[in-house]
Amino acid sequence: MKMKICAFIIICVLFYSYSYAQGSKELKFGLGADDIHSVYPWESTDKITDAVIINIYEGLTSLSPKGSNVEPCLAERWEASKDFTEWTFYLRKNVKFHNGETFTADHVIESFKIGGFQFGKVSKIDDYKIRIVLSEAKPALPITLANLDYFISAKATIEGFNKDKIPTQVFGTGPFKFKSWERGKRIVLDKNDAYWGEKAKLDRVIFIPFSENEALLKALLTGAIDITDGIVSQNIAAIRQSKSLLFKSEVSLNYAYMVMNNKRKPFDNVKVRQAIAYAINKKELINKYFLGGQAGMSAKSCMPPAMFGFYKDLPDYEFNPAKAKQLLKEAGYPAGFQASLTPAGAVRPYMPDPLGIANSIKAQLKQVGIDLTIKPAKSWSDFLSITLIKMDYDIALLGWIADTADPYDFLHDPLSGESIGKYNASGWSNKEFDSLLNLANSEPLRSVQYYHRAQLIFHDEVPQIPLFHAYQIAAWREGVSGFILHPLGYVILKKVWVK
């Protein structure tokens, strides 16, 4: 009897130790914006929204934790023809959506359709095999398919969206299931116990949005949230002083820029755009908003330095107010002009103080005769609508974080002519630029040459003014384990737990 009691006590102790090691089953994640934009992958336009979506849905492929390799996900493997125009993807079997639907090729075809797949024709070979025939070679197709636009949704999700767009039928195959969305307050995800792969360690994740960064910092310091990747540079000192918080920063594939509405006067004049570029003192902005370079670096190209194809010898527009005034005179604006400036609609890693940065730029441009009125958006969603969809602005502060490690994807969406009205806020379109991107995409051995030439065109035309590349920063409370900073800014919570 004593031996049985001892054995029982040992089992209880071991079970308690295991449970303690696994820790709390709930994680509160702070989002650095007033809310997410959508719960549908094909509607996501920002990393705040991506943080939720990437834990609900999955694609045929995924990117490794370091972002450098493409890995199988809902497709177990794939094959390509020698010229990279025909691909066959072999789908994973025995995968269930959160509503019980069985994943098949039909889901891929419907999801690609609503996601706007535009590279070629997708057809079903059988329930677990699809063929993609491209209009032109695309060696990086598996990387592109890791983009959230091509994540796979249940039929009920697509049907529900097409019917009433009310987010009640939100079903993916990911490690977490959508539970609820109380707009502006919280988004709740629960563990998917039927997940096909390694199951999540957490039972529940609660995403809590914060429209003010100081409120986000206070929530982290007081324990109202457990973790956030919405930390801005001016709050790093307070986090480092806290004994209960851990902090980490890494290079990330992002890009902050000042975009001008090329469809409006006077920004349709390239000399005006060049003048503004010469009037911006990036060093002053880096010192003030990125801890003198500890939290970010100045940008000179439309690509981050860590991305394949970056042109390191690309010239920059050095701060030169005299040159700016001369160009304005040549453009027919010797006395300058008036315009509005719309700051980013939320604090972002690449834009730590949107209103502050906007006011600093206003002061800089005032020195060359350009009088700006700061015109903030009402919300993050309103900002995206004003800049990306309606294009109802003069100048705006925007940013871009890579969805994949493919430079074509990074440049195509914010700068190509066919992206106007969706991601290209400038309205700028250059046929040679677009052609060079397509050549780089189809001729991988010469892609660097094409990307360099495209960046030179961008530099000369300057539809956007490169400002910063921010370092990726996250902070979490002691006891949170398993979180990895992804170079693409992905918030992957499957392996996270709280002691």
* pLDDT for residue 223: 94
Domain boundary (156, 184, 200) is at 156
Specify the residue for token string 């419907």.
110
Indicate if 259 and 236 belong to the same structural domain: no
Indicate if 314 and 347 belong to the same structural domain: yes
Name the band, by pLDDT with cuts 50, 70 and 90, for residue 111.
very high
196 found inside a domain: yes
Task: Report the share of the chain in percent with pLDDT over 70.
Answer: 94
17 found inside a domain: no
172 found inside a domain: yes
The answer to whether residue 334 scores a pLDDT higher than 90 is yes
Show the domain range for 40: 22-56+158-250+476-498
Starting at the edge strand found earlier in the chain, the sheet holding 75-80 runs: 75-80, 86-91, 129-134, 120-126
8 found inside a domain: no
CA–CA distances in Å: residue 281 to residues 235, 277, 284, 371, 400: 23, 9, 6, 16, 21
Rg (Cα) of the chain, in Å, rounded?
24
* pLDDT for residue 374: 97
Residue 431: phi and psi, rounded to 5, are: -65, -40
The answer to whether residue 94 scores a pLDDT higher than 90 is yes
Indicate if 324 and 410 belong to the same structural domain: yes
Domain boundary (131, 156, 181) is at 156
Indicate if 414 and 463 belong to the same structural domain: yes
Specify the residue for token string 């960046």.
455
- Tokens for 382, please give them: 């309103």
Q: Tell me how far the alpha carbon of residue 379 is from its chain's centroid.
A: 18
Indicate if 321 and 416 belong to the same structural domain: yes
The answer to whether residue 104 scores a pLDDT higher than 80 is yes
Mean pLDDT of all residues in 107-126: 95
**Torsion sign (Cα): 26, 58, 48, 479:** positive
The answer to whether residue 19 scores a pLDDT higher than 60 is no
Q: Which alpha helices (DSSP H) does 153-269 contain, by range?
A: 155-163, 213-222, 236-241
The answer to whether residue 18 scores a pLDDT higher than 70 is no
Indicate if 488 and 436 belong to the same structural domain: no
Residue 197: name the closest of 94, 334, 279, 46 by CA. Answer: 94
| Domains held by the chain: number | 3
4 found inside a domain: no
10 found inside a domain: no
Indicate if 306 and 295 belong to the same structural domain: yes
* pLDDT for residue 165: 66
- For residue 233, give every residue at least 6 positions away whose Cβ sits within 8 Å of its Cβ, in sequence order, or none: 289, 290, 291, 294, 295, 296, 352, 470, 473
Global confidence as pTM: 0.72
Mean pLDDT of all residues in 145-151: 93
Contact 167/17 with Cβ under 8 angstroms? no
Domain boundary (156, 181, 216) is at 156
* pLDDT for residue 464: 97
**Are β-strands 120-126 and 129-134 bridged in parallel, bridged antiparallel, or unpaired?**
antiparallel
Mean pLDDT of all residues in 119-129: 96
* pLDDT for residue 17: 45
Residue 317: name the closest of 345, 282, 346 by CA. Answer: 282
Contact 36/170 with Cβ under 8 angstroms? no
Secondary structure of residue 389 in the 3-state scheme: helix
- The per-residue pLDDT of the chain, averaged, comes to 91
